Structure 1
């Protein structure tokens, strides 16, 4: 009988242990569930910010456009080098038609316009960097201008043009030069957020915050977030949001145009390489001693060279925005 009592007590004790452990486990599970619920609630409270999403969309669009712009610059530089080789070949051939000379005069003009735009961008970027490093330039201005690579300035200048609406940066000093340096980067586009800098000369004809992100997408984001703090009311924020979206649409439109020009430039350059290779055996020949088909080959070479050169100076017409 005593053994039965001991067994009953033991079973009861084991039951208490299991019940206690089960209760603790339930409490732990409830705690985890409660913590998870709090986490979900916190995540739900912070809804995605439409302005930040718009900035991210803009940055992504610009990154794609910038990549294509750099690719276009490289293709054009290769085209310019190839044109020089073609010119050397044609000049080595005696008694070529007068039309060849006329065509190469036009080809030279196209090539010079492209190379001049590159040089303009390089020199004026250097002037902008010197101005930003001088007195009167803020940290953001200095960082923006200093971080711009020459290739970034050159692809922008050769793609969109070097139209100047004011005095060149190199002719300015002090605060005016700092403002011009910012305008060179398209800084005035953030006027909707309180950061416009229209003074001085906007060297590159860029509407929208395109120029800011030449120096890096993060710079635009930081400026935009800083500007967001200045929004006094919902209407101001909505206005800024609309401005960013307009600029994003403009960048995407530019991207499509640059891509089209890139494809045309690449196709023509590849064709010109082929024509040049076929005509190389005629180096130093007399045009009059060549067969009709050989003379026609040279004529096609000159025409293709002219078409390729014409694309060197082709500029992208940007859509006008209200931003």
Structure 2
């Protein structure tokens, strides 16, 4: 049949593109879940720091301001987390021929406003698009052209999703490193619990200042979205 080879080649390319998209999509979801777990762990570290700082008497005003910002960032995360839990029960993503619920970690990572936009909202399911193409027309050339066009769109989305994936991995690494550093630092600084700031040495005052500054950085990372750049 005329253009039959072209049609078959195009449908084969379409299937390859879908399979590649499915692999990167699953990787993206997996990394989002891992990022979410570390964000929760980081919140527990922030709690330890807040307990220590709150126990210090006669803290400088700058501390109070930064601690207020830390609390605000932490509150923002929990509010987003609560919203995302509700979204997980209502939002749906169609991918790879199946309907998958939006995970809390994914919604938080990409930003709740864009939960159904971008590459993960492409709506092309594995196996389904190729079948629908066959229903469009028996014209091999039209079927082949349509398959090739969609394959190009899918591969463009793959590249975009790869960028998102790298951002998720990058944010998670930053959180892991800073969280572990602050955990150790907080244990070391816990000897200052219930101390009077005015009676502390200059070194200990600087150490407390560093702890507060890094706590604020960590809370910013907790709320950072992959589409924020």
TM-score normalised per structure 2: 0.83
- Structure 1 match to 2:212: 302
Count of paired positions: 212
- Structure 1 match to 2:173: 263
Matched, 1:237 2:147: yes
| Contact 1:117 1:154 (C-alpha < 8 Å) held by counterparts | no
What is the CA–CA distance in structure 2 between the aligned matches of 1:223 and 1:100, rounded to whole Å?
A: 57
What is the CA–CA distance in structure 2 between the aligned matches of 1:222 and 1:117, rounded to whole Å?
A: 35
Decide whether aligned partners of structure 1 residues 89 and 159 sit closer, same or farther in structure 2, where only a CA change above 3 A counts. same
Equivalent residue in structure 2 for 1:208, among 110, 114, 119: 119
SS of 1:53's equivalent? helix
SS of 1:229's equivalent? helix
Deviation at residue 302 of structure 1 after TM alignment:
0.5
Matched, 1:77 2:27: no
Deviation at residue 279 of structure 1 after TM alignment:
0.8
Equivalent residue in structure 1 for 2:225, among 308, 312, 315: 315
Equivalent residue in structure 1 for 2:160, among 231, 239, 250: 250
| Contact 1:95 1:287 (C-alpha < 8 Å) held by counterparts | yes
What is the CA–CA distance in structure 2 between the aligned matches of 1:204 and 1:229, rounded to whole Å?
A: 31
- Structure 2 match to 1:293: 203
Higher radius of gyration, 1 or 2: 1
SS of 1:284's equivalent? coil
Matched, 1:117 2:80: yes
What is the CA–CA distance in structure 2 between the aligned matches of 1:300 and 1:126, rounded to whole Å?
A: 40
Deviation at residue 211 of structure 1 after TM alignment:
7.7
| Contact 1:160 1:206 (C-alpha < 8 Å) held by counterparts | no
- Structure 2 match to 1:274: 184
- Structure 2 match to 1:6: none
| Contact 1:231 1:237 (C-alpha < 8 Å) held by counterparts | no
Runs of 4+ displaced beyond 6 Å: none
| Contact 1:76 1:312 (C-alpha < 8 Å) held by counterparts | yes
- Structure 2 match to 1:158: 108
Decide whether aligned partners of structure 1 residues 240 and 230 sit closer, same or farther in structure 2, where only a CA change above 3 A counts. farther
Matched, 1:67 2:17: no
What is the CA–CA distance in structure 2 between the aligned matches of 1:318 and 1:222, rounded to whole Å?
A: 33
TM-score normalised per structure 1: 0.60
What is the CA–CA distance in structure 1 between the aligned matches of 2:186 and 2:134, rounded to whole Å?
A: 59
| Contact 2:120 2:161 (C-alpha < 8 Å) held by counterparts | no
- CA deviation profile, 1:252-278 (whole Å, cap 9, x unmatched): 111111111111111111111121111
| Contact 1:54 1:241 (C-alpha < 8 Å) held by counterparts | yes
Deviation at residue 224 of structure 1 after TM alignment:
3.2
What CA RMSD, in Å, does the superposition of the two structures yield over aligned residues?
2.5
Equivalent residue in structure 2 for 1:223, among 112, 128, 136: 128
SS of 2:115's equivalent? coil
Deviation at residue 204 of structure 1 after TM alignment:
1.7
Question: What residue ranges of structure 2 are gaps of 5+ in the alignment?
Answer: 1-7
